[in-house]
Structure 1
Amino acid sequence: MKKKQLSIFLRYAVPVLLAAMSISCMRNKKKTSTSDFPQIMERDTLRVLTLNTSISYFIYRDQPMGYHYEMISDFCNKHGLIPEVVLAHNSEALVSMLNNNKGDVIAYNVPVDNTLKDSLLYCGLSEISHQVLVQRAERGDTLLKDVTQLIGKEVYVKSGTKYYDRLVNLNEELGGGIIIKDVDKDTIVEEDLIRMVANREIDYTIADEHVARLNKTYFRNIDVSLVVSFDQRSSWAVRKNTPILADSLNRWFARVNIEPTYQRITKRYFEEAKRFERGGISSFVTFLKPGQISSFDHYFKQYGKKIGIDWRLLASIAYYESSFDPQSRAWTGAGGVMGLMPVTAANFGVKGNLLYDPEKNIKAGTEYLKTLLVSFSSVKDSMEQVKMALAAYNGGIGHVFDARALAEKYGADKDRWDGNVEKYLQLKRLEQYYEDPVCKMGYFRGDETIEYVRNVMDLWGVYKTKIKD
């Protein structure tokens, strides 16, 4: 059994290691000779400059994701190219790295600036965006419909950002009256303020339209419809001396803009809900009948016993992954009763439509969870080991390894989840942590994984109380 688990783990670990190499090594790649699209086609690789953010590129469930990453991947697929991600530290560095031939294309929203037209060709994905007000839209809330209604209201923005500058200018345009609350903290980022609005900690903030729309898929109780700035055109970009690549990207975007692929990717990131929202544990725990959680209990018991995992823990995971729906499919692409990524399922012999076969999905999910538990075998406390494995199941094992490395580096307990590894997983949304040398997997939005671990553990506790094994 141990040899089989080791074999499975090694097969599973390969994409994680490759993704880590993509993030940690590409930053230091040596300068290559300038080349246009024909030379890029010859080498079969397109070097893609982008940022490690929730919009552009990130690793989740050990798979590369992101709106800009998926769009440039579609371009690459249509031309038989492999996208090689090269990460920049910030948006200003993107242009510098492009001009220094560190990459072939910037796949990110670069503001169209006439002063850069001597060195850049704006091409490919092109959009018009603006800044919007983020406000709550729950029952009883009064939505602001016009910027003049901001007079007398407290709006929280981080100092030194374009949002702060825009709010100051808007306040001057209105003759004063907006109460600008300056958030001067290194541990607060744009998406934290949006979360604070959703959680009723503050009433208003300002964000880019795309960031606000993406966060609305996490927080359904916010409104992002009120525009507070002028329109700004943004685009991908290539060097001035690669006009054939620019033309190829423009031709691709002209086609994809009306294809289902574009609509699918856009819907995935800016429309599909990304949080599993429930009330308190006591408000939703139901049973088919006394002693039975779901219609798949016999599979949970069968494979739980065979592999050595409490079947009620498997049922708890299945509830949060799919609500026991064998045809369930998440925005990430995870599917079936146990919410497995297709690549992960394939590593356990479940390929194609077999992902939606309840028995095969549950068997693969149980084997996968066991593999994760084994990977945290150095954690001696069994409950802490389960929490680490659940975090890896939801967010990806690489990010949990990063959080444990950060915890150890900064004097926390890498073998304890609550307040330790959990804390550093959440801090991986901040640049100073996800770019720490001990981290291999880059940016991570940890709140959902932390919530997942807490909810699954709580539900497992209820099941253990109600149903004796």
Structure 2
Amino acid sequence: MVEKHSHSILLFTITVAAITLLFTAGCDNRDPKSEKTGARALKTPREYHVEKDTRFENYTESGDLKAIKKRGTIRFITLAANEGDLLPRAAIVTQLHYELATDLAKRLKLTPRWLAAASPEQALQMIQSGRADVFTGNLTRTKQREQKFALSETITRSRQQLVSGVNGPDISNPSKLGDVIISVMEGSTYAATAEELQRKNPTARMEMRALQPDDTVDNILDSLNQSNNLVTVIDSNIVEGVKSYRDDFKTGAFVSEEEDIVWAMRKDSPELKLRINNFLTRKMVTVPKERKADWATIKKSRVIRFLTYNGPTSYFMWKGVLMGFDYDLAKKFADKHDLELELVVVPHDEALIDWLKAGRGDFAGASTTITDQRKSQGVDFSIPYIAMPEQILSSSSKPPIHSLQDLNGRTLTLRAFTIFEDIAKSLQKSGIQVKIEIAAPEVSYERIVNMVAEGEADATIVDASAAEVSASLRDELLAGPLVSGPLPQGWMVIKGNESLLKKMNAFLTRYKKSSEYAKKVGFYFKPNKQGTEKILARLRPGEALSPYDKLVKQSASEHEFDWRLIVAQMWQESSFNPKAESPVGAQGLLQVMPRTAEEVGYPPPLFEPVRGIKAGVKYLDWIRNRFPGNVNLENRLWFSLAAYNAGIGHLYDAQRTAKALNLDPNVWFDNVEVAMLKLSEPRYFKNARYGFVRGAEPVQYVRNISKLYRAYTALTPGEVALIRLLYYPQTTQPRHSAPIPPFRSSVLSCQYGYLRPSGDAQPRPLQAGMLRQSADGFCRPQSTATPAPPGPAR
């Protein structure tokens, strides 16, 4: 479900996309009309609106806010770079760059449009030439920029800092660098800093690195850990963000003064600058470290602090979008009262109640069951926002548990210090001879579910919603009987905080009656299993695979995909319903988030089949180009599908986790998919940049599509296939799959430089405009332009 892909920017963090901005822009002091030392002229900015769009086509407008309002649109420009944001673990989420820009457009009563440039200089030149209005992102204030542009008030501040691997050289003082290699991104003022460091330390060497599509902060840190004398320079706010999930690197001395991070506009835009500064002044509030949690104090500070866990229903990132049932409700509550929401993620091995009582937040919740035992610890609960029964979840490799009597002689493995233990003991008291095993305190709820799926544990007790969703995604799991009535869940406040509790209860009472609330309950707590078997049963040779085969063939051909793969994906996404819309806003046949579609050239709505198909296929093509050359064509396909479903950030996390597990990070089946499943466990996702992911969903997504794709290729054997699929995944655990013979087809690989026909397929006629690329095939000339991204600048 390209559900999907909003790419919010945390002010004190960096993401895959932020790397480009921060290594080429964040500290860049260059004149936008020069490169490096100022000798080389800029190339004409490339504007990433390839397809003609009937709703928006870029224009030239160099006027102030009055002229912009006549257009009805404000154009935010950012950088063409990779997707994915670090999961905010302690931040005011309404102060992310994308959220700020979207809110600004709303307050100005303008439609926001996002443009992309290949470099900061090109972005600034587009503003200067009237092809964009505001540059949002981590842009550094410099004297040169102040002379040429209107710059906003300071959004945040940062300093450049030395960073090395955990066993790297002494970087506590620049004078101690000695014989080291200072590796920095070419074309950035990190380069100027490195030159100054080299001048003061003649034995040091400077290495300039060109930005690669798969360059991420994590990849850079991994490279540092492979050398004992490699050093780089990174902004301090980036460093602090990375520290929230990994500690295998060293930070050293600051090598610059504090620098202002700002937005940029055209020089002659005093009204726009004034409105933006007034807006930012109101939005960029901070919270004192020690503050009361009563309603009057909260309103005065304009910020409310919410404590929660990073987990499957409370708070997580999915395709670049911050979401979760508790998070969504908390955000609605904050918006209702015109407050900024500060999100604080509590480590899984610590209690929400302890953090609440320590004054680290104003209210707390993470699908928290209301119990007298919790109330006795010094908290009050809101009215219930949902009630959830508990249910048995067992392994499908063992006899099914259909009734409570089937629990006789079985073993329940339960998480320590949970209500599940009380429920299991009640079963024993009622005469059920079930054995209870309490896992060690450090064993998480998600780990126990994985143990059941892998046959290491017999059965467990979980929330009924978790049982149904898990069983729908993993054939290794079976949902059994309910073992309790509906148990109320709610938010917690410090005992006696009646003023906040009153506001929360009034909000929940009203919101629970809304249709929006019902949609969220359905989205987060109900299974959504696609009927792959149903579609397979009705396939007939010679018949159309879908009502949209012709449209799919056109888009698939343009981006060099096998059209049957796209049809298989389309069934998985929408069951061929062009009017499909998810509760989080994904639209159309390929379920693309409106913002993602807009950024690849197709603004919403996407319910028209041709627009929905073109947007989804173009986005899938963009993802496919994010992987390095050492990932082969077949695995590039599976990685692209997994990233389309979960977000490329989670895919990157799974690759790093696979490597840590001694699995192959460049192979999907039985390797990266295994790691993806592990990222539902806190012991793994606490060290992941993007945090928790319900890994079973992308795993099953890829398997369902691959199964349907094989069926489609078998029905249409005379057509050219995308690849020779040498791997056939089982539908159960991803460990025991076996290869099957390849289909009789050709192998189309122009995307990667060749076209190789197999011996059993008819040769394809040479098309006009195709050039010889190899001894046995022809391909169209490939563009060297930077591919357009689906996300804004970081």
Query: TM-score, length-normalised on structure 1?
Result: 0.80
CA change 1:18–1:286 in 2 (3 A) is: farther
Q: How far 1:100 sits from its partner (Å)?
A: 2.4
Deviations along 1:289-328, one digit per CA (max 9) or x if unpaired, are 45x4323222222222223333232222112212222112
Q: Does structure 2 retain, via aligned residues, the 8 Å contact 1:22–1:84?
A: yes
Which amino acid in the other structure matches residue 614 of structure 2?
Answer: K
CA change 1:286–1:45 in 2 (3 A) is: farther
Q: Does structure 1 retain, via aligned residues, the 8 Å contact 2:423–2:483?
A: no
Choose which of 393, 407, 413 in structure 1 pairs with 2:644: 393
Q: Which residue pairs with 2:501 in the alignment? A: 246
CA change 1:201–1:401 in 2 (3 A) is: closer
Cα distance in 2 for partners of 1:351, 1:315 equals 22
Choose which of 235, 242, 257 in structure 1 pairs with 2:512: 257
Cα distance in 1 for partners of 2:631, 2:350 equals 46
Cα distance in 2 for partners of 1:254, 1:163 equals 26
Alignment of 1:245-394 (within 5 A): 245-271=500-526, 273-279=527-533, 283=537, 285-286=539-540, 289-290=542-543, 292-330=544-582, 333-352=585-604, 354-394=605-645
Q: How far 1:10 sits from its partner (Å)?
A: 4.8
Which amino acid in the other structure matches residue 120 of structure 1?
Answer: V
Cα distance in 2 for partners of 1:350, 1:123 equals 43
CA change 1:244–1:128 in 2 (3 A) is: same
Q: Which residue pairs with 2:313 in the alignment? A: 55
Moved more, 18-27 or 96-105: 18-27
CA change 1:84–1:213 in 2 (3 A) is: farther
CA change 1:187–1:22 in 2 (3 A) is: closer
Matched, 1:32 2:289: yes
Choose which of 411, 424, 428 in structure 1 pairs with 2:662: 411
Q: How far 1:130 sits from its partner (Å)?
A: 5.0
Q: How far 1:112 sits from its partner (Å)?
A: 3.6
CA change 1:303–1:278 in 2 (3 A) is: closer
Q: Which residue pairs with 1:87 in the alignment? A: 345
Q: Does structure 2 retain, via aligned residues, the 8 Å contact 1:5–1:371?
A: no
Which amino acid in the other structure matches residue 530 of structure 2?
Answer: F
CA change 1:453–1:247 in 2 (3 A) is: same
Which amino acid in the other structure matches residue 646 of structure 2?
Answer: G
Q: Which residue pairs with 2:322 in the alignment? A: 64
Matched, 1:121 2:375: no
Cα distance in 2 for partners of 1:20, 1:321 equals 28
Q: Does structure 1 retain, via aligned residues, the 8 Å contact 2:370–2:487?
A: yes
Cα distance in 2 for partners of 1:250, 1:463 equals 53
Q: How far 1:219 sits from its partner (Å)?
A: 7.8
Q: How far 1:42 sits from its partner (Å)?
A: 4.7
Q: Does structure 2 retain, via aligned residues, the 8 Å contact 1:318–1:337?
A: yes
Deviations along 1:335-360, one digit per CA (max 9) or x if unpaired, are 311121233223224344x2111111
Which amino acid in the other structure matches residue 421 of structure 2?
Answer: D
Q: Does structure 1 retain, via aligned residues, the 8 Å contact 2:306–2:362?
A: yes
Q: How far 1:66 sits from its partner (Å)?
A: 1.8
Q: Which residue pairs with 1:169 in the alignment? A: 425
Cα distance in 2 for partners of 1:27, 1:242 equals 31
Cα distance in 2 for partners of 1:346, 1:332 equals 16
Larger relative helix fraction: 1
Deviations along 1:159-211, one digit per CA (max 9) or x if unpaired, are 64546633662355245x51326486999865677789899999864223453
Q: Does structure 2 retain, via aligned residues, the 8 Å contact 1:156–1:182?
A: yes
Q: Which residue pairs with 1:444 in the alignment? A: 693
Alignment of 1:183-222 (within 5 A): 190=445, 205-212=460-467, 215=470
Cα distance in 1 for partners of 2:612, 2:582 equals 15
Moved more, 166-175 or 392-401: 166-175
CA change 1:226–1:306 in 2 (3 A) is: closer
**SS of equivalent to 1:49:** strand
Which amino acid in the other structure matches residue 275 of structure 1?
Answer: K
CA change 1:19–1:279 in 2 (3 A) is: same
Q: Does structure 2 retain, via aligned residues, the 8 Å contact 1:46–1:104?
A: yes
Query: TM-score, length-normalised on structure 2?
Result: 0.50
Q: How far 1:249 sits from its partner (Å)?
A: 0.6
Aligned length: 455
Choose which of 679, 689, 705 in structure 2 pairs with 1:456: 705
Q: How far 1:65 sits from its partner (Å)?
A: 2.2
Q: Does structure 2 retain, via aligned residues, the 8 Å contact 1:20–1:440?
A: no
Matched, 1:431 2:677: no
Cα distance in 2 for partners of 1:244, 1:116 equals 18
Moved more, 241-250 or 65-74: 241-250
Q: Which residue pairs with 2:272 in the alignment? A: none
**SS of equivalent to 1:47:** strand
CA change 1:451–1:379 in 2 (3 A) is: farther
Cα distance in 1 for partners of 2:612, 2:329 equals 29
CA change 1:428–1:30 in 2 (3 A) is: farther
**SS of equivalent to 1:279:** helix
CA change 1:197–1:5 in 2 (3 A) is: farther
Cα distance in 2 for partners of 1:187, 1:381 equals 38
Matched, 1:421 2:676: no
CA change 1:382–1:216 in 2 (3 A) is: closer
Moved more, 339-348 or 386-395: 339-348
Q: Which blocks of at least 5 consecutive residues in structure 2 are unaligned?
A: 1-44, 51-75, 92-240, 246-285, 721-794
Q: Which residue pairs with 1:96 in the alignment? A: 354
Q: How far 1:400 sits from its partner (Å)?
A: 0.3
Alignment of 1:133-152 (within 5 A): 133-134=392-393, 143-144=402-403, 149=405, 152=408
CA change 1:188–1:313 in 2 (3 A) is: farther
Moved more, 116-125 or 396-405: 116-125
Q: How far 1:392 sits from its partner (Å)?
A: 0.3
Q: Does structure 2 retain, via aligned residues, the 8 Å contact 1:27–1:88?
A: no
Cα distance in 1 for partners of 2:596, 2:573 equals 15
Q: Does structure 1 retain, via aligned residues, the 8 Å contact 2:401–2:480?
A: no
Q: How far 1:70 sits from its partner (Å)?
A: 1.9
Cα distance in 1 for partners of 2:418, 2:373 equals 19
Cα distance in 2 for partners of 1:119, 1:161 equals 17
Choose which of 85, 88, 97 in structure 2 pairs with 1:17: 85
**SS of equivalent to 1:275:** coil
Q: How far 1:366 sits from its partner (Å)?
A: 1.3
Cα distance in 1 for partners of 2:629, 2:88 equals 22
Cα distance in 2 for partners of 1:207, 1:468 equals 47
